[in-house]
Each structure stands twice: as C-alpha cells, then as structure tokens.
Structure 1
Amino acid sequence: MACEIAVEDVGQNFADLNEKRNLVTDRLQRRDEERLQDLQKKKEDKEKITSDTENTVFFNENFNAAKAKIEADLMRSDDITGKSELTDHFDALVVAVQSLQKFVSDSTLFLPKYEIRSSQDVVNRLTDAINEKRDEKIPKKKFAFKSKKKSEKIEKKGTQNGDAVDSTITSKVSVQANDCGFMDLSDQSLSLGENSINQKDVAIMRLTDCVVKLHGSPSAIHIDKLTNCKVFSGPVSASIFIDNCTNCTFVLPCQQLRIHSTTDTSFYIHVTSKAIIEDCSRVVFAPYNWNYNGIDEHYRVSGLDKSINNWDDVDDFNWLVTDQQSPNWGVIPVEERVENWET
C-alpha cells in the first residue's frame, strides 16, 4: 500500500511540474510576443516620424523657394510701365500665390499646426502685398455693390430646413472686375448663377436673416458678419474664408475652409484638405449634401476631387492638445442632420 501511494505521489508531482512548465512557457511566449509587438510599434512610430519629418523638410524647401520667387517678381513691378504688361504681370503673381495656397492646403495632412498657421500667414501677406501693389500701379474704382432690382416671389413652405423665404426682394448686387456678391441686406432670398460666379471671387457681407444660393463654381468666397443666415454654394476651386458669423448654416464644398470668430453655426462641407477654425465656439460639422442641376459640371470646373472629403478633420488653432478633442467643435449627429435642402 505504501508503495502504491508513493507511485501516485510521484505521478502527481510530474503532472504538477508539467503544468507549471506549461504555465512558464506560455508566460514567456506571451512576453516574447508583447516584446515583438512593442518593437514593431516603435519601428512604425519611428518610420512615421521620419516620414513626417522628411515631408516637412520637403515642404519648407519648396515653400520658401516659391515665396522668394513671388517676392522677387513683386519687386520688379516698379520696372514695368505698360498697362497690358502690368496686367499680365499681376495675373501671373496671383496664379503663383494660388499655387502656393494649394501647396499649403495639400500639405496640411502632415504639417504641424504651427507650420500650417505660419505658412498661411505668409500666403495672406503675399496676397495683401500683391493687391496693394496692383492697386498702386493699376488704379481702379473701389469695389462696391450697386443696387439692382430683382423681383422674385418665393412661396413660403413648411420645409424641414426652413430655407424658403416669402418676400419680393430688391438686392444690392454687383458684378465688377471678377468680384460679385451681396452686402447690407436682411430678410431676403438671394442667388447668383454660373454666368456671374464661375471662377470669380464672391463676397458676402453684413447679412441678417437671409438665404444665399450660389449655383456655380467660384474661385473663392469671402464671408463676413452674417447673422441667422443660410449660405449654399457649388464647388469652390480654392478657399472659403468665414469671419464673425453667428447662428448660421453653411453648405459648402471647397479645397480649404478657414473659419474665424464664429459661434453657434453648422457646417455641411466637402473639403479636400482641412477645415481650420480659430476663436470659434459651438461650431458643428457634417458632410456636404446640397444637390442641384449642373453640380457635376461645376465640380469639373472647380477641379475638386469628389472622392476626397475630410469634413470631420478640423484643426482648431486655439486647441493644441493633440490627444484630446477640442471643445470648440463637434460632429452633427446623423439623426439631427438636414437630409434635403431646397435647390
């Protein structure tokens, strides 16, 4: 009997040893797998940092070269005398700055925020310098909005988005030297077609309780001081700049969107680079969803890629914490989005 007990004890000890050995083996294997995963992650992080650094170096070299050439060409303006030659000269400068703007917009996916902000400031200063020098060398009448009567009866409807306005409007509209738009109006429904806005700058300023519809492809849109307004646009080939707006809705596609000092506003956007906000609060975003006859042709004119939409990739220049969501902007919940807009 004692011998049988001893054999059983030995067998049990072997089983315990095997179990312990298996546990140790499993633990070592898991530790080895975790170590390999950690090494792989460090390798990927290093490769990403290297890639971003190389991209940033490439960007800075090319950006600075383009900036220096534009500045040198601008300095030559005083040596040109003929009006036709000056016009061609400044047109070339504008094209160069637009190309530089596109280069900045296309690079926002990998550039640090401070780099984006600094580069955009340079582009803005170059644009201002070109406009100032052009006005000096080729004086023109100051841009103004002229009164133009336009009767348009719009039936008031109980639509979901409430963008119908019942009014007979008298609009202050001007199309002058590639500029057009609306200003100093309230309680009106306003629109411009492709013949007025295609590849032109549009200015929309100081409106209250208005609905604005742009059926076409502007080159840029400048929006300032709107309250309780809705603005719809076809595809914009370059940038849209929005400043000092409150309680508005914007439905817009563009290459780059810059929003400043705006609150309590909704954006339905298609943006191929990024939306950038600064000094904003309670702004929310959703994908662009306005449709109208001719929009496909306007996309072709604008050159925007319909397959790329970074509508929810928003940079907040007032929020530099990279691992936390900015409290100044958010996404409109799907169930709260307007699905159909009147065209």
Structure 2
Amino acid sequence: MATVGEVPVESDLQDNKKKREVEKRLQKRNDERQAEVERRQEEKSLTEAVQESTGCFLDTFSKERQNIESQLSKSEQIPKNGLVEHFDSVSSQLSKLQKYVSESTMFLSSYEVTKAQQTMSQLHASIQEKRDVMIPKKKFAFKSKKTEKAKAPKIIEDVVDHAANTQTNLEVELAECKFVGDVSKVLEKTPDELTQKDVALADLTDCTVKLLGAPSAIHINKLRNCRVFSGPVSGSVFIRECVGCTFVLPCQQLRIHTTRDTDFYIHVTSKAIIEDSNKTRFAPYNWKYPDLEEHYLVAGLDRTRNNWDDVDDFNWLAANDHSPNWSVIAEADRHQHWDA
C-alpha cells in the first residue's frame, strides 16, 4: 500500500474510481426511484381528477336528462297556443346538453361517450315524436289535397302559404349560422362555426356549400343548381323548394318538400320523407373529410343504422306500389369523387 507522502499506487486509483462509479449508480437508482414516486403521485392525482370530473359529468348529465324528460312529460298540460314555445325550449335544453357532452369528451371514456350519445338520440326522438303528435302539421293530414283545395276559398290558401313562408323566414332569421342570397360561390363553415348550431341555407344559386362539422339542424330553402355537403346532423334537415341540386349529408331525420330533379346521398337513422316532390333520387352518404368520425360521435348518429333507401312519400298512399316520385341511383351512376 502507498504510505503518507507517497504517490498513490494504481490499485488505489482503481479503488477510488470503482467507489465513485458505485456512488453514481446508487445516486442514479435513488433518482429513478424518486422520479417513479413522483410519477405515480402525479398519475394518481390525474386519475383522481378524471374520476372527479367524470363523476361530476355523470351527475350533471343525469339531472339535465331528468329535467328534459320531466318537461316533456308536462307537454299535455301546456295550452295549445304555448306548445311551440314549449317544445322550442325543450329542444334548446337538449342542444345545451349536447354541447356539454361534446366539451366533456376529453376526459370521458369511449363507453361513457357512446352511452351519453345514445341517450341524446333517444331524447331527441322522444321530443320529435311528442311534438309531431301534439302539433300536427298540414302534411300529416292524409286527405285528397286536390279536393280540399278545390273547396277552399283562395284566401285560405293564401293564408296557409303566408304562414309557411313566415315560418321559413323565421327559421332563417333565428339560425346561428347561415348563407343567404349567394350566387356562383364556394361557401364553407368550419366545425368551430357550426357544431351544435342551427344552420340555414336560403336563396342560393349555382353554389357549392361545405359544412365541416356537426350541426344541430339544417334549414334549406329555395336553392337552384347547388351542391351541399354536410357532416353529421344531430337533429333534422328540412329542405323546401329546391331544384336541380345535390345534397350529401347524414342526419336523424330528413324532410323534403316541393323539390324536384334533385339527388340525395344520405345517411338517415329514421326515414326520409318527401312531399309534393318528384324526380328525386337517393344513394348512401359517401363524402369524406378529416374528423368525420369524431363528428359522428358528437352528433350521436348510429353508423350501423342507415335507411337511405326507405323513403316515405306523403303524396303516394298505395302501399303495394312504389312511388314514382323517387328512385334509387344505380351504383354505376353514383358520384364517387366529390372534389373532382
């Protein structure tokens, strides 16, 4: 061994080096253990935060669902002149709940999101069914319209037409997102602009409209030679007085009035309804764009349920004969590349 005042021998240097290496390894292990402890603590905190947020969501969602169901159950007690306002209020509550679900998806599991969207779809169907029963519209009266019109004084027809136009104008005016009066333009709305909002398209000619998101409803009136593409619609799409158009959209309900020479590429979970329309053709929805799958979840549409070729014609009551007012687009004739 080296003595005092002597230069350390090689063995001492190696021992010191090994000692430092052992100390470094021990320190590294200690640092790793400490980092793992902190990681687990952080993970535990995040898990507890998510669980707390999920619990809060489930409580809030349950209360809002019960409130909507309670309001719906009281519909029979509402005076007739207050039914429209009543159902509009209930639908507004549902739209707010849908927005709350959409904003909560970041911390919910896929199962919880799916379950919530299924509940939303059921609530929407219940509201629409109850509304259709308690506020019957002229279109649901299965009568000979030619006979009724022949007997009715013209002033009554004018009043009916004025009421329909007033309703349409009101829908356009109240819509949060709209295009009105454009000609030969490419019009587009982003998800931030339209998701869970009412959209209105009116008096458009030779336009292409792209709605990249999940609207709550779409009101379409008086379009000529237009192409309209939309992401999943959580509610209904209403189309009136359109000629020579193409509509490519998924929705819960589709109602088409006084429309002709128009093609529909649709995903609809109930049935499409046509009235006073002819030369309408149908095919499955086939538009694609980024985030489409996410928007299906936001809208709550069931991808496995598509009644695109099951159309009710309110002007054709012969149960055993196919209506001449609509047809299926042959596969060979279907448009495949929409951006071309």
Q: Tell me the TM-score normalised to structure 2 length.
A: 0.56
- Is residue 102 from structure 1 mapped to residue 125 from structure 2 by the alignment? yes
Q: Return closer, same or farther for 1:102/1:208 CA change in 2, 3 Å cut-off.
A: same
SS of alignment partner, residue 252 of structure 1: strand
Paired residue secondary structure (2:282) = strand
Q: d(CA) in 1 for partners of 2:302 and 2:137? A: 26
How far did residue 203 of structure 1 move? 0.3
**Residue in 1 that maps onto 2:289:** 292
Cα RMSD of the aligned pairs, angstroms, is 3.8
> Runs ≥4 in structure 1, deviation > 2 angstroms?
64-67, 69-75, 88-101, 103-107, 115-124, 142-145
**Aligned partners of 2:127, 2:207: CA distance in 1, in Å?**
33
Pair 1:121-2:137 in alignment = yes
Question: What letter matches 2:192 in structure 1?
Answer: N
- 1:155-197 CA-partner distances (Å, limit 9, x unpaired): xxxxxxxxxxxxxxxxxxxxxx761110101000000001010
Would you say the 8 A contact 2:91–2:127 is kept in 1? Answer: no
* Corresponding residue number in structure 2 for 1:50: none
The aligned counterpart of 1:274 is 271
Matched, 1:326 2:323: yes
Find the residue that maps to 2:209 and give its secondary structure.
Answer: strand
CA–CA distance in structure 1, aligned partners of residues 123 and 298 of structure 2? 20
Structure 2: distance between partners of 1:226 and 1:204: 8
Matched, 1:225 2:248: no
Paired with 2:243 and 2:87, the residues of 1 have a C-alpha distance of 39
The equivalences for 1:168-317 within 5 A come to: 179-317=176-314
Q: Could you say if the C-alpha distance between residues 68 and 299 of structure 1 is closer, same or farther in structure 2, counting changes exceeding 3 Å?
A: same
- Say if 1:263 and 1:281, in contact at 8 Å, map to a contact too: yes
Query: By how many angstroms is 1:214 displaced?
Result: 0.2
Does the C-alpha gap of structure 1 residues 300 and 120 become closer, same or farther in structure 2, counting only changes over 3 Å?
farther
Q: Whole-Å Cα distance in 2 between the matches of residues 268 and 218 of structure 1? A: 17
Query: Could you tell me how far 1:103 is from its partner in structure 2?
Result: 2.7
Distance in 2, matches of 1:71 and 1:123, equals 22
Query: Deviations for 1:242-298, whole angstroms, at most 9, x for unmatched residues?
Result: 000000000010000000000000000000000000000000000000000000110
Quote the Cα distance in structure 2 between the aligned partners of 1:302 and 1:123.
Answer: 27
1:332/1:118 CA distance change after superposition, 3 Å: farther
CA 1:252–1:70: 2 relative to 1, 3 Å: farther
Question: Structure 2 vs 1, CA of residues 72 and 325 (structure 1 numbering), >3 Å: closer, same or farther?
Answer: closer
Asked if 2 retains the 8 angstrom alpha-carbon contact of 1:70 and 1:96, the reply is no
Q: Structure 1 length normalisation: TM-score?
A: 0.55
- Deviation of 1:341 after TM superposition, in Å, equals 1.7
How far is 1:91 from its partner? 4.0
Question: Which whole-Å deviations, capped at 9, do the CAs of 1:63-98 have from their partners, x for residues lacking one?
Answer: x956414558948x9xxxxxxxxxx99744644799
Unaligned runs of 5+ in 2: 1-71, 96-120, 141-169
C-alpha distance in 2, partners of 1:93/1:269? 24
Q: Which amino acid aligns with 2:291?
A: G
Equivalent-residue separation in structure 1 for 2:215 and 2:273 (angstroms): 20
| Structure that is richer in helix per residue | 2
Distance 1:89 1:310, change over 3 A: closer
| Counterpart AA for 1:307 | T
2:256/2:277 contact within 8 Å kept: yes
Q: Is the 8 A contact 1:197 1:217 kept in 2?
A: yes
Instruction: Say if 1:310 and 1:105 are closer, same or farther in 2 by CA, change over 3 A.
Output: farther
Match of 2:68 in 1: none
CA distance in 2, matches of 1:300, 1:93: 19
Could you say what secondary structure the match of 2:303 adopts? coil
> 1-side partners of 2:228 and 2:208: how far apart?
6
Distance 1:101 1:236, change over 3 A: same
The Cα of 1:143 is off from its aligned counterpart by 8.8
Call closer, same or farther: CA 1:258–1:72 in 2, change over 3 Å.
Answer: closer
Equivalent residue number for residue 68 of structure 1? 76
CA contact (8 A) 2:171 2:219 kept: no
In the alignment, the residues of structure 2 paired with residue 205 and residue 296 of structure 1 have an alpha-carbon distance, to the nearest angstrom, of 28
Aligned partner of residue 219 in structure 2, secondary structure: strand
Q: Within 1, Cα distance between the matches of 2:252 and 2:258?
A: 20
Q: Secondary structure at the match of 2:321?
A: coil
Residue type matched to 1:271 in 2? Answer: V
